[in-house]
Amino acid sequence: MPFCQQISGTNYTFNSLIEVMAKASPLRSGDELAGCAAHSDAERAAACWILADLPLTTFLEDPLVPYETDDVTRLIIDSHDQIAFAPISHLTVGGLRNWLLATAATNDCSTVLSAVAPGITPEMAAAVSKIMRNQDLIAVARAITVTTAFRTTIGLPGRIATRLQPNHPTDDPRGIAAATLDGLLLGCGDAVIGINPATDSPRATAALLHLLDDIRLRFDIPMQSCVLSHVTTTLGLMENNVPVDLIFQSIAGTQGTNTSFGVTIPMLLEAAEAGRSLARGTVGNNVMYLETGQGSALFANAHLGTGGIAVDQQTLEARAYAVARVLDPLLVNTVVGFIGPEYLYNGKQIIRAGLEDHFCGKLLGLPMGVDVCYTNHAEADQDDMDVLLTLLGTAGAAFVIAVPGADDVMLGYQSLSFHDILYVRDIIGLRPAPEFELWLRTLGMADVNGRITPIDLAASPLLGLAGSR
């Protein structure tokens, strides 16, 4: 069914819901690459106007990706909670925006927003985000509290956790230990200490997991570790009694993209159950760590929807969150600028995408974090990352990722530094996860307000970490 809208005497016609969604999206290079972006600001405004007037029920009746051929669509439709949806079922997309902003301003906003989350589909979340300004995305996301736990509690109001990412080009234990020490001394690592391994070798992954678990036990750190190998590698190691805390996997919003990652939804559900059966957590048992990112479906050439029409990358990203929430994860983050300028061209696009992803994830009930990052050939710099970090801290992000010097020497991209975490915690008044903060205070590394304090490293028990293996 075509959709029509007139602006300033010009008629704009869109042939499908997919086209309306794509052309209502803020400009980004990935949609231009896919050929689905609006050709002008006027056309984009027309699409937004149409989108705002569409009933939310449209997204249940007109799937963007065919139900018959895509298991993510089947998951979205089959698991939709009609009872949770009932309070907002009469609304249009524009009405949902108004309702979200009004609800966010009330005292019991988090309870109300959490209650409707199972009734909101990813496509609804993506649609409403397209007609929201950045401040709208921040205000609503900030009003939502999503908490998860393993050995630390993630997502509490007034706190922001960090993934300490001590990657090394050759997985050298000494280099990883040095980066880990650097991060711990600056109060990072409360979300996870997570290593991207140089290879997916089970032996190498096992060695890294033992290294991280030895550090945890040696210094009695309330933390969880993860080596970001493929889920099948991790499952095999669990069967051999390797100390696995969190199970990692990259996921996406179409069956075809997940197939390119070598995973299926049943496989991921099996992994989550296997991880929970180990019962290694102390304050909770959320065991999955999931990563997503705008552009992954287009990169895998698995971005086409009903009628072979390209679906915009932000909507496909939101669909990945349907896979995530059925797995009840500890952590979910979008690596927002990692794929490159072909998908998010510059700092403005990266900032907008990061806020969209964070908003959609929290709206759908996920403990959402962001890898605030860019590649060296993007039109972005560390000033852009400062802006996005500050906005995410204000918006209540569950966690962000930090690497030594903001430069990941193994993956070859720019992220946040450990010092950037000190900045955002201090400037906004945020604290580490409570269990991790208590450990920092016990070692004299943080004051009563959770701020990192200078210590005499020579007298610190962490000194031994500098000489680890």
Q: Would you list the DSSP string of 166-209?
A: ---TT--HHHHHHHHHHHHHTT--SSEEEE--SS--HHHHHHHH
Query: Under a CB-based contact definition with an 8 Å cutoff, are residues 12 and 48 in contact?
Result: no
In one-letter notation, the amino acid at residue 375 is T
Residue 466's pLDDT is what? 58
- Which one-letter DSSP state was computed for residue 252? -
Rounded to the nearest 10 degrees, what angle do helices 313-326 and 347-363 cross at? 40
Helices vs. strands in the chain: H and E counts, helices first: 21, 14
CA distance 291 to 274: 19
Decide: helix, strand or coil at residue 465: helix
Dihedral sign computed on CA atoms, order 275, 281, 285, 291: negative
User: For residue 288, which of 234, 238, 318, 328 has the smallest C-alpha distance?
Assistant: 328
Q: Which amino acid is at 261?
A: F
Rounded to an integer, what distance in angstroms lies between the CA atom of residue 54 and that of residue 69? 25
How far, in Å, CA of 423 to CA of 385, rounded? 12
Alpha-carbon span 277 to 211, nearest angstrom: 22
Which single residue is written with the structure tokens 């059966």? 277
Please give the Cα distance from 397 to 191 (Å, whole number).
12
The two tokens of residue 469 are 């293996």
The Cα 230–Cα 370 span in angstroms is 20
* Phi, psi angle pair for 416, to nearest 5°: -105, 155
Nearest Cα residue to 434 out of 143, 146, 160: 160
Distance between CA 244 and CA 237 in Å, rounded?
Answer: 8
**Alpha-carbon gap, residue 82 to 127, rounded angstroms:** 19
Distances (CA, A) of 306 to 16, 20, 222, 237: 9, 13, 47, 40
**C-alpha dihedral sign at 128, 134, 136, 142:** positive
Amino acid at residue number 76: I
d(CA 366, CA 349): 23
The Cα 244–Cα 269 span in angstroms is 17
The residue assigned the tokens 């560390």 is 382
Q: Give the span between the Cα atoms of 192 and 401, in whole angstroms.
A: 9
pTM: 0.96
| CA angle, residues 391, 352, 333, in degrees to nearest 5 | 75
Measure the N-to-C terminal CA separation of the chain; round to a whole number of Å: 65
Question: Phi then psi for 171, rounded to 5 degrees?
Answer: 55, 30
Q: Which residue has the tokens 């010009």?
A: 10
- Nearest Cα residue to 263 out of 235, 225, 298: 235
Instruction: List the one residue out of 140, 168, 225 whose CA is nearest residue 396.
Output: 140
pLDDT of residue 457: 63
DSSP 459: G
Return the pLDDT at 463. 67
Query: Is residue 371 within a helix (H) or strand (E), and if so which, with residue range?
Result: strand 368-371
Which parts of the chain register pLDDT below 50? 469
d(CA 28, CA 259): 25
Distance, CA of 141 to CA of 360 (rounded, Å): 8
Q: Which residues contact 376 (CB under 8 A, 6 or more apart)?
A: 412, 413, 414
Give the model's pLDDT for residue 104: 96
